Amino acid sequence: MTQTRKKKMELDIINPNAGGIDVGSRSHYVAVGQSLEDVKEFGVYAEDLTALCEWLLSYGITSVAMESTGDYWQNLYAELMKHGIEVILCNGKFTKHAKGKKTDVKDCRHIQKLHALGLLTSSFLPDETTEKLRTYCRQRKNLIASASGASRKMQKYLKFLNFRLDVVVKDVCGLTGLAIIEDICKGNLDPESLSNHRHYNCRKSKEEIAKALHGNNREDFLFGLRQEYQAYQFFQKQIVACDKEIDKFIKEKLKKSPEKKKLKTSEKPHKRQNKNAISIKNFNQIAFQYFGGVDLMAIEGLSHATVLAIMSEIGPDGFYKFDTSKQFVSWARLAPNNKISGGKVLSSRIPKGSNRLKIALRQAANAIGNLKDTHLSDFFKRVAFRKGRQAAVSATARKLGVIIWTMVTKQVPYSPPKEYLFLDQKRKMGIAKRIQKQMVKFDIKPEEIGIGNSLIPNYNF
């Protein structure tokens, strides 16, 4: 009997000077090889991170890989970059331990092995300027969320007091609503007096507003309302301060590029702003200069909030890290993740997960669905007719991602087709073309068949 020999397949070492780090909340495990002697544990203090980098350099490590675990990797990442060590920050799903009992020592050795074999790819990381702007903008979004929470609690206490302000005004935190709430917090509970705060744009009359403000005047609910109103005012002041800091940061960035400061674009008076829009003067011009002459505000449906999200989440230089628009929309989780087996498509769902850029583009796509007679809104309605509004939002968001990537990377303006033709319009135009061809062929003039020249469109053949 002949014995069958087991074939052993070996992989080439792509990164010989590679290390692996298992990031933790209280300690980091670092591996420079596959033996137990090549693994060492370090703390999370500043001196521990410095010692970690020096230990890696003593072994000649030039590149390390680690998981993007929560927020624990950020200080370590900055320290490694400061010591000139290349960092591959990868998603945890690509470094899952294959088999056996899971320990921190095994994890760091497994990460080091995958990195040495060149099997790990780095996640997208923005440049330093975009990262700083991202911090300001995310803080601003958190403040808006906190303000909206205080607004909801104010409405709750108003209902408990039987002040049905939500019935007579469109927005409780509008001009009329806030003026009435402020007066209530000061101790004025007279309905007739409170109704005098009605703004002239309010649809309801003073008499109807006064009817809605007959409450039970319970002291505990008034105390809660007073607390939430003060919290709302505090968050609004914080948002204004955040807007000033963002404005200052962007203008300081533009000062370093005098050629960008000379760029001018057309005004966009048709772009509506809500109360949560960033309060930066001439934001349209600033965004145009920030992207080096690319007018993203020219795209229908893109608001100030959407453009600010693009500026802070990826930045103008981040688009160039993706070779194609397909790679960009796939990273943003806007493209279907096709799963194919045996030549058959098993699934074409969009991957799970929502980053802030994806949310911003989907909100812009939803707004496009409410527009009329534009290129993108016609595309939206065509998809919505066949597959529903949810699918239309996803498809339009992906289309927006492709358009934005093309405009920024290729420095081209937004130029949609002048008109979008539905199927019946295309058939009508085709019939008119055929008739005109026949008239030219047989030299028939419009007057000979009893129609005027103005009734026949002039097509170039």
- Determine, yes or no, domain membership for 72: yes
Q: Per-residue pLDDT tens for 293-341?
A: 999 999 988 999 999 999 999 999 999 999 999 999 999 999 888 888 8
> Do 56 and 137 fall within a single domain?
no
pTM for the structure as a whole: 0.81
> Do 247 and 266 fall within a single domain?
no
DSSP 287-339: HHHHTTS--GGGSTT--HHHHHHHHHHTHHHHGGGSSSHHHHHHHTT-S---E
Cβ neighbours for 306, distance < 8 A, ≥ 6 positions apart: 360, 361, 363, 364
Which stretches within 122-218 are classed as H helix? 128-160, 165-168, 175-185, 191-194, 206-211
SS3 19: strand
What token pair was written down for 37? Answer: 């002697």
> Do 281 and 375 fall within a single domain?
yes
Q: What does the pLDDT read at residue 419?
A: 58
> Do 265 and 239 fall within a single domain?
no
> Do 245 and 265 fall within a single domain?
no
> Do 340 and 440 fall within a single domain?
no
CATH of the domain at 33: 3.30.420.10
| Domain housing 300 | 261-410
The low-confidence residues of the chain, meaning pLDDT below 70, are 1-9, 98, 418-423, 426, 450-461
Q: At what angle do helices 73-82 and 46-58 cross, to 10 degrees?
A: 50
- Determine, yes or no, domain membership for 461: no
> Do 32 and 62 fall within a single domain?
yes
> Do 181 and 71 fall within a single domain?
no
> Do 171 and 71 fall within a single domain?
no
- Determine, yes or no, domain membership for 135: yes
Q: What does the pLDDT read at residue 460?
A: 46
> Do 382 and 274 fall within a single domain?
yes
> Do 92 and 65 fall within a single domain?
yes
Domain count, the chain: 4
CATH of the domain at 169: 1.10.287
> Do 314 and 274 fall within a single domain?
yes
- Quote the CA–CA distance of 223 and 185 in Å, as a whole number: 8
CA–CA distance from 245 to each of 129, 251, 314, 317 (Å)?
A: 14, 10, 19, 22
What token pair was written down for 387? Answer: 């597959």
Place of tokens 């600033």: 286
- Determine, yes or no, domain membership for 5: no
- Quote the CA–CA distance of 38 and 453 in Å, as a whole number: 88
- Determine, yes or no, domain membership for 124: no
Which stretches within 324-448 are classed as H helix? 325-331, 356-368, 375-387, 389-410, 423-441
